[in-house]
Structure 1
Amino acid sequence: MTGIFKQKTSSNIVLLLVYGLVLKFNCFLHPAGPIQQPEDHFLYNWLIEWLKPLHIPGVLYVLITFLLLYGQALLFNRICNDQKLLPRPNYLPAMAHMLTTSLFVEWNYFSAPLLANTFLIWTFYRMTTLPTIQKPAAAILGIGIQMGIVTLLYKPAVVFVLLVLLALFIMRPFRLREWAINVLGITMPYYFLALVLYLGNKWDWNKIKPVFNIGLPAIPSSVYTTISITLLIVPFIIGGYYVQANLNKMYIHVRKSWSLLLLYLIMAMLIIMADGGNNYISWMLCSVPITAFHAAAYYYINSRRLPMIIHWILFGYAIYLNYWLI
């Protein structure tokens, strides 16, 4: 399977759809509605309140979730190919995304982190293009607005504001005007929200400020959770080793993109501590950078058998997890 997705052919788009359905089809047989948590912010809570009177069946939420995950996989794959994160274009990042998001059952249901992930992938793409933009003001403002929307979907995602500022520091020469534009973009969704609440006589500061608790993540209470975490970490370490080994062969902007992915992962890990819950829904925000390093592991390993073995171990476990443990 890794050999097939290592090729850049249009048929892989259809194959990826089938691949994802095989992994996640049992979710359609046991559908669940949207997941709500105390950390969800105003936009997500408003969306759920708006959808509740429609009495949408659970299977439709599962379908929307699957299409979002499939779209995320294709979008992130295109970013990896456009930015040349791997030497040759392929569909390994898309395959890895569909596979890694199957290692936790919670990641296959409609939630605020799922929606935030979609915006974050697009935001990451715009951050990687900053060095090549001649007039970056509009792009920087757009990045800020997208990040503001992300924080209004999920409170702990305010940590990613730091990622945007670090991206400006890494990708662009320091210009105070650009930083001010970015901060303006981040706060702009809050201005509009405050205006709507005020004019609707529903003003409440608690609806806007992103308050959340900080604490250590819960110790895995299940052996299956421990296995899932292990299967995320081991290919990530292998991929990280090969990325580091090939760093000198990469263009400067590619090195910066990999550095940005690593910072992305660090910010997402901070969110794990800011979640405060006992579930693993917020861990989904780690999936995108981990996906990239998994794809690097499948691509760079010289042996033909080892990537296949790693893939089929993850695939077999994901099938067992999603079909026999739900």
Structure 2
Amino acid sequence: MINQFRTLSLVNLLLLVAFAFFMRIAIFINLPEKFDFEFLEPYTKLLVQIPSASALAPIVNVTIAVMLVIIQAVLFNTIVNRHNLLGKPTYLPALLYVTTSGLFLQFLIISPPLICNFILIWIMDKLLKLGKSGNGMMMMFDIGMLIALGTLIYFPFIVLLVMLWLSLLLYRSFNWREWVSGLIGFLTIFFFLAVFYYWNDNIGQFFQIWKPLVNKFPSSLQINYNDYVVLLPLALIMVLAALQLWENFFRSFISTRKAFQMLFFMFIVSLISFYTKPDFRVYHFLLCVPPGAVLLAYYFSNAKKRWFYESLFAILAISIQYFLFV
């Protein structure tokens, strides 16, 4: 499977679609009666009225979700190849994106983080262009607006504001206008939201939006570790990928080094942003899939022993399927 996806061909695109549906066969076989959650944050519903997730038949929900993942995987693959993060064009990023976006049952349905991943992939593309851009101020303004749009869909997306300044530290010399422009772009969207709330005599509710930002980071979490055994093979691959990246780090182009540092920070920021959502669900960690899939793809792109890396991927895929069924 890995060796097949190391090349860029139309056949691999067809295989990717088939593999995406195969990795979700467990939920197609055991469809629940309904899904009950909201697509948008409560403070956005004054602006946009859309049906609840429960209005969709489960089969429609799951089918749309897998199609969205396939589209995201292709877009993601295009961006990784465009910025030459793996050294050669390949379909591995798409393959690893589809694989890791099917880790848990909650990943397999339409959810706010799934929709936000379109925006996250777009932001990733812009951040990877940051070092080559002559006008960083406008780019940061655009990224700030994109983060605001993501926050309207799913509040923890707001924590990605940190990526504005971490990326500037990596890619640009200090320019206070660039440091401020991203925040202005973010505030522009919420300024219009505040005006809308004011017109509807509901400005008090607008100020309630920001309360999760003062939540304390949880000192303990209630975790059923049996539900996360599937992460063990994934963690092993991540460790091997980190070792592989470290081995090649100083032999890589400077732009590639900075790109992987930026993606590492994006992964961490996406991971810890759950604290802004007291009732967060497992699907929150879909936000970690784009930056994490690049690192996984890097390992499989550079691994030498075919029997080992093919076996490792097979173990990962089988583990995911097993735990989805049980």
Aligned equivalents of 1:206 and 1:140: distance in 2? 25
Please, which of 287, 295, 298 is the counterpart of residue 296 of structure 1?
Answer: 298
**Contact 1:121–1:288 (8 Å) recurs in 2:** yes
Please list the CA deviations of residues 192-250 of structure 1 after superposition, one character each: whole Å capped at 9, or x if unmatched.
11122222333322453252533146343142x23122233111111111111111222
**Deviation of the 1:93 alpha carbon:** 1.0
1:131 matched to which residue of 2? 131
Change in CA separation of 1:234 and 1:41 when aligned onto 2, cut-off 3 Å: farther
Aligned equivalent of 2:257: 255
Q: Deviations over 1:159-193 (max 9, x none)?
A: 21111211122112211112222111111110111
Using a 3 Å threshold, how does the CA distance of structure 1 residues 53 and 175 change in structure 2: closer, same or farther? closer
Residue 293 (structure 1) shift = 1.4
Structure 2: state its 5+ residue gaps: none
When normalised by structure 2's length, the TM-score is 0.90
- Residue in structure 1 matched with residue 117 of structure 2 by the alignment: 117
Counting matched residue pairs gives 321
SS at match of 2:313: helix
Per-residue CA deviation, residues 223-282 of structure 1 (Å, 9 max, x unaligned), is 2x2312223311111111111111122211111100001101111222244443474222
Alpha-carbon separation, structure 1, partners of 2:163 and 2:284: 17
1:88-99 matches, cutoff 5 A:
88-99=88-99
Assess, with a 3 A threshold, how the Cα gap between structure 1 residues 41 and 248 changes in structure 2: closer, same or farther. farther
Q: Which residue of 1 aligns with 2:61?
A: 61
Q: Decide whether aligned partners of structure 1 residues 52 and 282 sit closer, same or farther in structure 2, where only a CA change above 3 A counts.
A: closer
Q: Which region of structure 1 is more displaced relative to structure 2, 197-206 or 82-91?
A: 197-206
Query: Could you say which residue in structure 2 is the equivalent of 1:240?
Result: 242
Stretches of structure 1 lacking an aligned partner (at least 5 in a row)? none
Contact 2:6 2:92 in 1 (8 A): yes
Contact in 2 for aligned 1:76/1:93 (Cα 8 Å): yes
Check whether the contact 1:268–1:285 (CA below 8 A) recurs between aligned residues. Answer: yes
Distance in 2, matches of 1:89 and 1:53, equals 37
Change (3 A) 1:44 1:60: farther
For residue 33 of structure 1, the aligned residue among 32, 35, 39 is 35
Q: CA deviation at 1:138?
A: 2.9
Write the distance in 1 (CA, Å) between the matches of 2:131 and 2:202.
Answer: 42
Establish whether residue 42 from structure 1 lines up as the match of residue 43 from structure 2: yes
- Tell me the CA shift for residue 92 of structure 1: 0.7
- CA RMSD after TM alignment: 2.4
* Distance in 2 of aligned mates of 1:72 and 1:194: 31
Q: How far did residue 107 of structure 1 move? A: 0.9
Contact 1:44 1:153 in 2 (8 A): no
**Structure 1 residues 229 and 220 mapped into 2: Cα distance closer, same or farther (>3 Å)?**
farther
- State yes or no: 1:9 paired with 2:9: yes
Q: Which one-letter code corresponds to 1:75 in the other structure? A: L
Pair 1:104-2:107 in alignment: no
Q: 1:187 matched to which residue of 2?
A: 187
Query: 1:205-224 residue pairs with structure 2 within 5 A?
Result: 205-206=206-207, 208-209=209-210, 211=212, 213=215, 214-216=217-219, 218-223=221-226
- Mark the CA change 1:182 to 1:71 in structure 2 (over 3 Å): closer, same or farther: same
Distance in 1, matches of 2:220 and 2:107, equals 17
Structure-2 separation of matches of 1:279 and 1:140: 30
Asked if the contact 1:34–1:110 (Cα under 8 Å) also holds between the matched residues in 2, the reply is: no
Tell me: CA distance 1:43–1:56, structure 2 relative to 1, closer, same or farther (3 Å): same
Matched, 1:314 2:316: yes
Residues 236 and 294 of structure 1 are in contact (CA less than 8 Å); yes or no, is this contact kept in structure 2?
A: yes
Shift of 1:125: 0.9
Structure 1 residues 177 and 278 mapped into 2: Cα distance closer, same or farther (>3 Å)? closer
Residues 276, 230 of structure 1: alpha-carbon distance in 2 compared, 3 angstrom cutoff: farther
**Could you say if the C-alpha distance between residues 42 and 25 of structure 1 is closer, same or farther in structure 2, counting changes exceeding 3 Å?**
farther
Q: CA deviation at 1:36?
A: 4.3
The 1:41/1:154 distance shift into structure 2, 3 A limit, reads farther
